[in-house]
């Protein structure tokens, strides 16, 4: 049996979508084929996204920043958007996959008072981890 394919979308495919992909792979790689892409990819994964995930023993240093068009005809079962711009830019995928929208702040622009840039990445990483691990738990419970 083939694993369902999940595509996580963000505008730049440099921070949130990669953190979500790494966390989802870590939690449920046995259940899904997992990809991430962007509507306007920046061409690189943000170094602080790599660092924030490395702190929780998830390596995304090999990820690439890809355009969502690469996945239009690849049999995606579920599309998860993690920013509002990606939700608006998301094309219609063939076979009408399930779609979820869980918006997270953009870490490079999310620093709160007294917070460093890496602290913002950690905070958003932890929010993403909470949501995606709950998704995996619910999926496993439904099987």
**pLDDT (0 to 100) of residue 12:** 87
Q: Which of 10, 58, 79, 82 is catalytic?
A: 10
CATH topology of domain 5-142: Rossmann fold (3.40.50)
Q: Which of 90, 111, 118, 136 is catalytic?
A: 90
User: Has 15 been annotated as catalytic?
Assistant: no
Q: What is the pLDDT of residues 100-138, one digit of tens each?
A: 999 999 999 999 999 999 999 999 999 999 999 999 999
**pLDDT (0 to 100) of residue 95:** 73
**pLDDT (0 to 100) of residue 87:** 58
**pLDDT (0 to 100) of residue 104:** 95
Distance CA 143, CA 124 (A): 29
Query: Any idea which of 59-73, 79-93, 120-134 has the lowest mean pLDDT?
Result: 79-93
**pLDDT (0 to 100) of residue 133:** 96
| pLDDT higher than threshold 90 for residue 39 | no
Sketch the domain layout of the chain as residue ranges.
Answer: 5-142
Q: Which of 83, 86, 124, 128 is catalytic?
A: 83
């Amino acid at each position: 049996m083939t694993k369902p394919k999940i595509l996580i979308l963000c505008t730049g495919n440099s921070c949130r979508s990669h953190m979500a992909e790494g966390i989802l792979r870590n939690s449920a790689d046995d259940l899904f084929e997992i990809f991430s892409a962007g509507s306007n990819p920046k061409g690189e994964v943000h170094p602080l996204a790599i660092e924030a995930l490395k702190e929780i023993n998830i390596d995304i240093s090999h990820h690439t920043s890809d355009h969502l068009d690469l996945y239009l005809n690849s049999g995606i079962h579920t599309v998860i958007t993690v920013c509002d711009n990606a939700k608006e830019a998301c094309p219609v995928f063939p076979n009408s996959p399930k779609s979820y929208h869980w918006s997270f702040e953009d870490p490079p622009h999310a620093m709160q008072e007294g917070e460093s840039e890496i602290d913002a990445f950690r905070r958003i990483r932890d929010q993403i981890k909470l949501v995606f691990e709950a998704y995996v738990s619910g999926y496993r419970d439904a099987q």
